[in-house]
Structure 1
Amino acid sequence: MQGIIDVKNIKKTFGKQDVLKDISLEIPQGEIYGLIGPSGSGKTTLVKMLLGLESPGSGTIRFKGESLKAGSVYASVGYMAQSDALYTELTAKENLNFFAALYSLKKKEKEDRIKIVMETVDLLDHLHKPVALYSGGMKRRLSLAIALLHDPEVLILDEPTVGIDPVLRKQIWERFQELKTKGRTLLITTHVMDEAERCDRLGLLRDGRLLGSEAPAVIKEKYGVSSIEEVFLSTEVN
């Protein structure tokens, strides 16, 4: 079965620097796929390509069996960037209303989805607070709520739980697992190694190359270590 995301032989160069070198991967529907690697390994560039925000130098990207086009994926994809893209002078509700309008959510659906996503990230009691008064962790949680707002088929989350306390992080991952059981597909970049362990498969990027794309247990056996953290550290020093 063809993956919902299918990347074939992607290469990307900025100036004289090869940022991505012949990357191929396939992500089926209903999988949580983790992407790990040292800073500068090419993770963010790859994520931007999967969103159509960056074009590959060569190779192909297909989304749901069709050649990826930026405009065509937005209705199906929820994206959370490393940096929060929020209107801090507005309340959380006003931010959510703005993004709901972009996705053409009707009034009843919009109100239902806002309640669901703000409960998911434990911010419902802060719905009417200006975002300027949010802490850094609260802003990350609101960004996640916005990515979930239109109930997308695919979630692409770039370091989604940075700055979020361990208890809420556990709750959010339980929500990720619920989304998976409903057939949603998640691609998550992370430096949190216990989160990497929870993914169905992991892609290890180093120096623009994909070193593996397998289940965490298989990767640990391949590297002869007992934790994904040890695998990650080995990609730093090798």
Structure 2
Amino acid sequence: MTPLAIDVVGLNKHFGHRHVVKDLALQVREGEIFGFLGPNGSGKTTSIRMLCGLLAPDSGSGTCLGLDVMTDSVLIKRQVGYMTQRFSLWEDLTVAENLDFIARMFGMRGRRAAVDAMLARLGLADRRGQLAGALSGGWKQRLALAACLLHQPRLLLLDEPTAGVDPRARRDFWEQIHGLSASGVSVLVSTHYMDEAERCHRLAYIADGRLLVSGTAQEVVQSRRLCTWEVSGELPPGLAQSLRSLPGVELASSFGATLHVGGRDAARLQASLEQALRGTGLAMREIPASLEDVFIDLMQGSAGPQGAAR
């Protein structure tokens, strides 16, 4: 068995009367890219902050990099790289000055050589004198990743790191992540993008503070046992809403110029669709359920965000 970078059980966190994370149990293997998914307000960010030592759990137990999550937060923080949802470096410092400041905070020896090496590694050398605030979204993301990696962490915790950047920057970012994983760095990454979720070795889905399902993408899809049909043709307005009310239909969502309609009672679903679409000129065909179908189903079945939980 591959050793575990994260192994926690029963983690809970309250903010006042709000129970934001409820009995979280999570295992992430060393060198694994683990996707953390869920709607806004589901408790993903709070969970990540507990794992990296920024928030103390109210209860629970377990380890992060072999250190106790309840008592060793200071030691954990020195071995973890945490990338927040929003760019959190200093916009009035240059690229190189930001990295030098991070290196000084960690008390790194030979920090100038380390900064130069990281600038070269992430393709930032030509921008070392540019103010961070003047960078585009993709370059800010690259600088934030450089800051996370500077102290050579064993675990990266990335909170929606590619939000708001262009497709090429996202692709380049994921190439970096897979390279890090191959070198033995463990990665826990939260994302709303299904193409990114499919790049992860394993996934977990959290809603209303509870972990609902985890496993490989294939295991997650199979666990929901969805039968899915694709409806195509000249789709009239409001079709998805009308189909949702049919017996056997549990989800109906637009996918480009088509609709995906799903449910668990295959016979009932098919009969309802055939009757509803008879004489409309619309076509229907059965297709494998996608990861996106599954997460739409999970979102519909969960209680949804509570208050301002993150």
Quick check: TM above 0.5? yes
- Counterpart in 1 of 2:298? 235
2:118 and 2:214 map into 1 onto residues whose CA distance is 30
1:180 and 1:3 map into 2 onto residues whose CA distance is 14
1:116 and 1:171 map into 2 onto residues whose CA distance is 19
Structure 2 residue 91 is the aligned partner of structure 1 residue 88:
yes
- Counterpart in 2 of 1:216? 217
1:116 Cα deviation from its structure 2 partner: 4.6
1:110 and 1:61 map into 2 onto residues whose CA distance is 36
SS at match of 2:213: strand
Whether the 8 Å contact between 1:43 and 1:189 is mirrored in structure 2 is yes
Residues 47-58 of structure 1 mapped to structure 2, 5 A cutoff: 47-58=48-59
Listed one character per residue, the Cα deviations across residues 119-154 of structure 1 (whole Å, up to 9, x for unaligned) are 454433211111222233322221111111122110
Whether the 8 Å contact between 2:8 and 2:63 is mirrored in structure 1 is yes
Moved over 6 A (4+): none
2:166 and 2:29 map into 1 onto residues whose CA distance is 30
Listed one character per residue, the Cα deviations across residues 82-126 of structure 1 (whole Å, up to 9, x for unaligned) are 12221111111000000011223333x643x43454345443321
Residues 56-135 of structure 1 mapped to structure 2, 5 A cutoff: 56-68=57-69, 69-107=72-110, 110-111=112-113, 113-119=114-120, 121-135=122-136
Listed one character per residue, the Cα deviations across residues 30-79 of structure 1 (whole Å, up to 9, x for unaligned) are 11111000001100110110012112221113123331222101221111
Letter in structure 1 aligned against 2:154: E
- Counterpart in 2 of 1:31? 32
Which structure's relative contact order is higher, taking Cα pairs within 8 Å and 6+ residues apart? 1
1:150 and 1:118 map into 2 onto residues whose CA distance is 13
Q: TM-score, normalised to structure 2's length?
A: 0.71
Letter in structure 1 aligned against 2:208: D
Letter in structure 2 aligned against 1:230: D
Could you tell me which runs of 5 or more consecutive residues in structure 1 were left unpaired when the two chains were aligned. none
Letter in structure 2 aligned against 1:226: A
Which has the higher Rg, Structure 1 or Structure 2? 2
Could you tell me which runs of 5 or more consecutive residues in structure 2 were left unpaired when the two chains were aligned. 227-287, 302-310
- Counterpart in 2 of 1:200? 201
Letter in structure 2 aligned against 1:189: S
1:184 Cα deviation from its structure 2 partner: 0.8
Whether the 8 Å contact between 2:67 and 2:76 is mirrored in structure 1 is no
2:108 and 2:162 map into 1 onto residues whose CA distance is 26
Q: CA 1:74–1:53 in 2, change beyond 3 Å: closer, same or farther?
A: closer
1:124 and 1:220 map into 2 onto residues whose CA distance is 43
Higher alpha-carbon deviation: 139-148 or 39-48 = 139-148
Q: CA 1:221–1:117 in 2, change beyond 3 Å: closer, same or farther?
A: farther
Q: How many residues align?
A: 236
1:120 and 1:232 map into 2 onto residues whose CA distance is 35
Fraction of identical pairs, as percent = 40
Whether the 8 Å contact between 1:35 and 1:203 is mirrored in structure 2 is yes
Q: CA 1:97–1:133 in 2, change beyond 3 Å: closer, same or farther?
A: same
SS at match of 2:129: coil
1:121 and 1:206 map into 2 onto residues whose CA distance is 34
Higher helix residue share: 1
2:13 and 2:151 map into 1 onto residues whose CA distance is 31
SS at match of 1:4: strand
Q: CA 1:117–1:164 in 2, change beyond 3 Å: closer, same or farther?
A: farther
